[in-house]
């Protein structure tokens, strides 16, 4: 269902302009504000983008983009060329040290992804020359097998921060290969909503543990502004011209939050100074985590839980 609302002058939260008699939305509902369309999933309105046409050429564009995105958000050194697949597999099978074997697994997964995209490029090129390639064709089966194996090895791949794995991003090229394009886009909206939820959980925890204390006066508004900008960054595709408003605002607010300094009383002892310094470090860590989630556009549940636990323990320590 698409509902149209009056135009607004600035980029804003869709719910800010909802009329009082507006009925509660359900997943999949859409609405238009200021010529921009939004879709509702899991409690959030998300900027809507129409799916690409479900053709081989469109799938290639989508898979290429998703593969680049996966490597961008994961650890360095694993973007192994597809031509090195056999060497990467041999190195993985020979390695016995657990820590090194995990990294070899990530490098093998990278080689498999690149081999799959190489194969799919060939399939699309053949199609453009009038050669029809069926789903049972050997090239198509090899492409599917490479994607599937890369997906299975994806549990060994970490986010570039080292915080945790990022399976949701790593699995997207395979899903784009196997799912109807419209279904894939729907799954992306759900993931963005889950990422927004994590952003709000981190922001809420920061406010609960820091704000309300005299030493952290002025912090609450900074957190609220940054969380809102992060949600907008998460929902906005880079090809959308509005990114030139959204991204600078998001980065600038992050820098402002990083620069925040708590107010210490003149008679603060060394212990209090150390605790407040650690609190500021935790605020910066929360800012980075929100940035990771907004940039990857997926949930990071493990990192979110770990961060919230750190903040809870810090809050208890301040009461001692």
Of the candidates 296, 317, 306, the residue with the CA atom closest to the CA atom of residue 166: 296
Helix 98-128 × helix 56-73 angle, to 10°: 160
Q: Are residues 66 and 167 in the same domain?
A: yes
Q: Are residues 77 and 160 in the same domain?
A: yes
Q: Are residues 96 and 130 in the same domain?
A: yes
What pLDDT does 14 receive? Answer: 55
pTM of the model: 0.85
What pLDDT does 107 receive? Answer: 96
Using the 3D structure, point to which of 178, 211, 230 is the last residue of a domain.
178
Would you say residue 64 lies in a domain?
yes
Would you say residue 167 lies in a domain?
yes
What pLDDT does 11 receive? Answer: 42
What letter does residue 57 receive in the DSSP assignment? H
Q: Compute the distance between CA of residue 127 and CA of residue 12 in angstroms, rounded to an integer.
A: 43
Q: Are residues 64 and 42 in the same domain?
A: no
What pLDDT does 232 receive? Answer: 96
Which residues span the domain enclosing 153?
56-178
Q: Are residues 293 and 204 in the same domain?
A: yes
Identify the segments of the chain with pLDDT beneath 70: 1-23, 318-320
Q: Are residues 197 and 308 in the same domain?
A: yes
Q: Are residues 147 and 244 in the same domain?
A: no
Would you say residue 65 lies in a domain?
yes
Would you say residue 253 lies in a domain?
yes
* Domains held by the chain: number: 3
Do residues 234 and 191 lie in contact, with contact meaning Cβ atoms separated by under 8 Å?
no
Q: Are residues 8 and 30 in the same domain?
A: yes
Would you say residue 187 lies in a domain?
no
Would you say residue 184 lies in a domain?
no
Pairing of strands 2-4, 36-41: unpaired
Using the 3D structure, point to which of 125, 144, 178 is the last residue of a domain.
178
Would you say residue 183 lies in a domain?
no
39 phi and psi, to 5 degrees? -130, 145
Using the 3D structure, point to which of 149, 178, 207 is the last residue of a domain.
178
């Amino acid at each position: 269902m698409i509902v149209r609302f009056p135009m607004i002058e600035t980029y804003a939260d869709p719910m800010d302009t909802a009329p009082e008699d507006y009925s509660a939305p359900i997943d999949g509902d859409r609405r238009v504000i200021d010529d921009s369309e939004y879709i509702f999933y899991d409690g959030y309105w998300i900027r809507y983008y129409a799916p690409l046409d479900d053709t081989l050429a469109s799938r290639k564009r989508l898979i290429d983009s998703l593969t680049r995105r996966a490597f961008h958000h994961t650890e360095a050194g694993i973007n192994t060329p597809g031509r090195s697949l056999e060497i990467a597999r041999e190195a993985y099978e020979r390695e016995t040290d657990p820590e090194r074997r995990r990294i070899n697994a990530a490098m093998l997964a990278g080689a498999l992804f690149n081999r799959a995209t190489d194969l799919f490029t060939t399939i699309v090129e053949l199609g453009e020359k009038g050669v029809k390639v069926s789903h049972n064709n050997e090239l198509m089966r090899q492409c599917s097998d490479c994607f599937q194996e890369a997906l299975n090895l994806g549990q060994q791949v970490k986010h570039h921060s080292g915080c945790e794995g990022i399976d949701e991003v790593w699995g997207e090229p395979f899903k784009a290969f196997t799912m109807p394009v419209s279904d894939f886009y729907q799954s992306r909206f759900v993931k963005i909503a889950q990422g927004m939820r994590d952003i709000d959980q981190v922001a809420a925890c920061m406010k609960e543990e820091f704000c309300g204390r005299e030493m952290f006066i002025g912090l609450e508004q900074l957190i609220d502004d940054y969380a809102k900008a992060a949600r907008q960054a998460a929902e906005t595709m880079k090809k959308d011209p509005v990114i030139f408003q959204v991204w600078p605002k998001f980065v600038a607010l992050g820098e402002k939050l990083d620069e925040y300094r708590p107010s210490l009383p003149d008679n603060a002892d060394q212990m209090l100074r150390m605790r407040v310094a650690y609190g500021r470090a935790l605020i910066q860590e929360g800012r980075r985590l929100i940035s990771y989630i907004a940039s990857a556009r997926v949930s990071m549940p493990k990192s979110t839980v770990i961060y919230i636990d750190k903040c809870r323990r810090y809050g208890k320590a301040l009461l001692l």
